């Protein structure tokens, strides 16, 4: 597939892929150090869930703002700002001394985290031709598994070399890496032609954000937002608490947890790639339906049944495969549902409204987990979320092969 892209498409794909991979690294670091932070800072499971939730809530705000700004100032310029923002905040978390300090910086980190996806997905969706758009966006999504895997490696190394009180800080200091990507983007990635053509045609940059709620668009905006709530709510309900579930409910060590997560991450990477192929082959809706149903089914035996360690290890692959593969069609689907003049605003709103509501799920899992255990809380919220995604996707039109007009 890559050999069929032109030079500009490949460079844009590279930038978006690396941006999303580093985004994942910075976000998933928290899930690995969560148990340690709870001990060091003396916080409860519910408070820890709020740290995950506040990042996702503010990422929703960041995504909305970045989408609006991308329609006005361009996709590339805003993308650089968002990458620098979450990079700086991630590093600073490693220097915090109290729960309130972490809480504030996690919120600020979320602004850049949400903005990066909102702008990057629009950029790659507009830059790549329609017949390869689904696979291109899916490959970008697979960068999340790479970043997640890098976080797992850093987790194992850091907690092997350093004492836990220092190791969790070291992991956040690796957040300085994304700043390097900004220089690549500034030099090699131009604005998409469809965006510049739209600006020339209308005579101005930007769009009225409220137009995504206009009578002809509102139906699509609502359904797309519900689909994003389901997909992300299910994903965050599972992945935020997965390391804690493996250590607290299954009694695994740091090394053991890393091994189990490696299998899940491998499944995640394959899921992204297979999902990207299915997105162009079967359609955007079909991909969402297949993977959402599969994820909702698999999470139940993984958390509820008294499985042996070997079965848990094997079942981790399809769990990661399904929970991640559903994302492969999301970027191209949202890009094709909306016109160019409001695409950044609409895509930023829908995805990040979904992220904002989905952000509540880690907190819900944490608070319910305090009472009923993570093994019960995770499948309740994950299963309900995926049901919402399926119902919303069924009501949306198929967009496979749709050309983008200026």
Helix (H) or strand (E) holding 77: helix 75-93
- Structure token digits, residue 188: 């090699």
pTM for the predicted model, two decimal places: 0.74
- Structure token digits, residue 17: 């892929």
Work out how many domains the chain is built from and give that number.
1
SS3 content of the chain, % helix, strand, coil (to 5): 85, 0, 15
Instruction: For residue 405, tell me if it sits in a domain.
Output: no
Instruction: For residue 146, tell me if it sits in a domain.
Output: yes
| Band of residue 254 on the pLDDT scale cut at 50, 70, 90 | very low
Mean pLDDT over 83-100 rounds to 89
Instruction: For residue 67, tell me if it sits in a domain.
Output: yes
CA distances from residue 381 to 214, 296, 322, 388 in whole angstroms, order as listed: 32, 10, 16, 11
Instruction: For residue 209, tell me if it sits in a domain.
Output: yes
- Grouping H, G, I as helix, E, B as strand and the rest as coil, residue 56 is helix
What pLDDT is attached to residue 255? 45
Instruction: For residue 109, tell me if it sits in a domain.
Output: yes
Per the model's pLDDT, the better-predicted residue between 309 and 345 turns out to be 345
What pLDDT is attached to residue 229? 94
DSSP letter for 112, please. Answer: H
Range of the structural domain that residue 210 is part of: 2-395
**Residues shown for the chain:** 406
pLDDT tens, position by position, 265-278: 888 889 988 998 89
For residue 391, is pLDDT > 90? yes
Residue 374: closest CA among 360, 383, 364: 364
User: Residue 283: which region, alpha, beta or left (left: phi > 0; alpha: psi -120 to 50)?
Assistant: left
CA distances from residue 229 to 62, 110, 391 in whole angstroms, order as listed: 16, 17, 12
Instruction: For residue 296, tell me if it sits in a domain.
Output: yes
pLDDT tens, position by position, 6-35: 788 888 888 888 888 887 887 788 888 888
- Structure token digits, residue 108: 């600020």
Comparing 137-141, 158-162, 181-185, which segment has the lowest mean pLDDT? 181-185
* DSSP letters for 268-294: HHHHHHHHHHHHHHT-HHHHHHHHHHH
What pLDDT is attached to residue 29? 85
The whole-angstrom separation of Cα 36 and Cα 110 is: 21
Mean pLDDT over 334-346 rounds to 85
Helix (H) or strand (E) holding 75: helix 75-93
CATH code for the domain in which residue 35 is found? 1.20.1250.20
pLDDT tens, position by position, 200-240: 766 555 556 778 888 889 999 999 999 999 999 998 888 77
For residue 298, is pLDDT > 50? yes
Residues 113/115/121/127 CA torsion (nearest 10 deg): -130
Comparing 139-148, 186-195, 248-257, 380-389, which segment has the lowest mean pLDDT? 248-257
Instruction: For residue 343, tell me if it sits in a domain.
Output: yes
Instruction: For residue 339, tell me if it sits in a domain.
Output: yes
Taking the alpha carbons at both ends of the chain, their separation in whole angstroms is 25
């Amino acid at each position: 597939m890559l050999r069929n892209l032109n030079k500009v498409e490949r460079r844009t794909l590279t930038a978006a892929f690396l941006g999303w991979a580093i985004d994942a690294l910075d976000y998933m670091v928290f899930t690995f150090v969560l148990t340690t932070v709870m001990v060091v800072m003396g916080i409860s499971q519910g408070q820890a869930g709020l740290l995950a939730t506040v990042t996702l809530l503010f990422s929703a705000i960041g995504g909305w703002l970045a989408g609006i700004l991308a329609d006005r100032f361009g996709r590339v310029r805003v993308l650089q700002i968002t990458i620098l923002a979450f990079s700086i905040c991630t590093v600073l978390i490693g220097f915090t001394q109290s729960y309130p300090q972490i809480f504030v910086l996690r919120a600020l980190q979320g602004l850049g985290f949400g903005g990066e996806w909102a702008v990057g997905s629009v950029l790659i969706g507009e830059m790549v031709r329609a017949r390869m758009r689904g696979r291109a966006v899916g490959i970008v999504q697979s960068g999340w598994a790479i970043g997640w895997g890098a976080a797992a490696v850093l987790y194992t190394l850091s907690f092997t070399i350093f004492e836990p009180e220092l190791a969790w800080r070291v992991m956040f200091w690796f957040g300085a890496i994304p700043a390097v990507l900004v220089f690549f983007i500034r030099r090699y990635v131009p604005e998409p032609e469809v965006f510049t053509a739209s600006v020339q045609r209308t005579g101005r940059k930007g769009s009225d954000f409220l137009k995504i709620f206009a009578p002809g668009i509102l139906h699509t905006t609502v359904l797309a937002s519900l689909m994003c709530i389901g997909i992300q709510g299910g994903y965050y309900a599972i992945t935020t608490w997965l390391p804690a579930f493996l250590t607290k409910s299954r009694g695994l060590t740091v090394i053991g947890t890393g091994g189990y997560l490696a299998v899940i991450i491998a499944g995640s990477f394959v899921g992204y790639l297979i999902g990207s192929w299915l997105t162009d082959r079967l359609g955007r809706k079909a991909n969402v339906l297949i993977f959402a149903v599969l994820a909702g089914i698999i999470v139940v035996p993984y958390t509820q049944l008294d499985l042996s360690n070997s079965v848990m290890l094997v079942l981790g692959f399809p769990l990661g495969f399904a929970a991640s593969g559903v994302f492969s069609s999301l970027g191209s689907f949202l890009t094709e549902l909306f016109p160019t003049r409001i695409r950044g605003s609409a895509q930023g709103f829908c995805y990040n409204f979904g992220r904002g509501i989905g952000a509540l799920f880690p907190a819900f899992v944490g608070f319910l987990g305090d009472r009923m255990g993570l093994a019960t809380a995770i499948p309740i919220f994950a299963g309900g979320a995926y049901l919402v995604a399926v119902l919303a996707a069924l009501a949306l039109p198929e967009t496979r092969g749709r050309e983008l007009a200026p």
